A and B are shown apart, each in its own frame.
Chain A
């Protein structure tokens, strides 16, 4: 395997205008210098970060941008664009030189999001803790984004009305994405009752990096457990819009894992955590 030793500075090669409503993306490309042995018969290029690679012969250095076929192109993570994005204009994507791949090498794992969804009392937080412990004992770095905990900080300004629930999920999804980018195994433990909102979070991440775990525990069992006394309050009419009582829970149609597994309703949190760990191992997340 050839290890990249140097990256030449990015060269911009596009024009842009500011007067119109649409700002034209300004693409930056980078050159990568590979020294290949003369006896090399073939070269295979691969990248883990969706970068596009083209192998061309070495060309002499030039201070002016060139668009002929002799220019090597290496784009993807190094895109630099000036964009209008929602309400904020004139924002620029800054290239960071230490990337996800580097962090994953250091941590010897791949960042991802394990999204645990289910009714209140279905065991989401319990599984999240067991999973976190199991990962830690294997020397892996994980972090739990618990819905209740996040509502103590980042999402303290949000209520439980439908639109606020959607915003709660959106923000948690965006933060989980950042954690995954940092190389961390991010365990989001959030009721997240609406399918649309969970799907929107899935779309934020590359294919495979969003692992939806459905805690499929019947309402009756959750209500019997009632770990926080909330079902009792909801039945007494003291909480309105409580999921499972007077607000819907939309179960996933295509999740990666469903727990407990069929025929094993008595699985302990540790046993369920091991099922998730096996999945992660199989898919290669527990190595760089």
Chain B
């Protein structure tokens, strides 16, 4: 099975990001390369087992097939990214941390339950921050502002006109 997608290799190209609990339950999965359902399931299963078997003091990086895996545990959740072998792993570690900070700011002291029950929100934030697998340098404020503006639409679903005018988007 070849990993390299039809895309040419690019720096900072993340292949996928998985979030899972200590029991191995997948909470979020974002794939930046085209893979069939079967392949995704196999990868998730294998990788989750591998990472759960790691001990606390070990390196945050490991080799897996022809990729580098960067992972970090936050409370009851493991955040795990796959990047190409030549990448700078510390940056990926910080990308994970930045994502957790964004979640924390949005949900207020975020915990796994927040992500379980509001996974769409977590995905929206992830998409604003990591567009197509590339980390955006947009300030934290901008990322969250974009999400909050869309959220406002939900609150005022019955009267969309006033909200859009209020935030100057029409």
Co-assembled chains A and B: no
Q: Which residues in A have some Cβ–Cβ distance to B below 8 Å? A: none
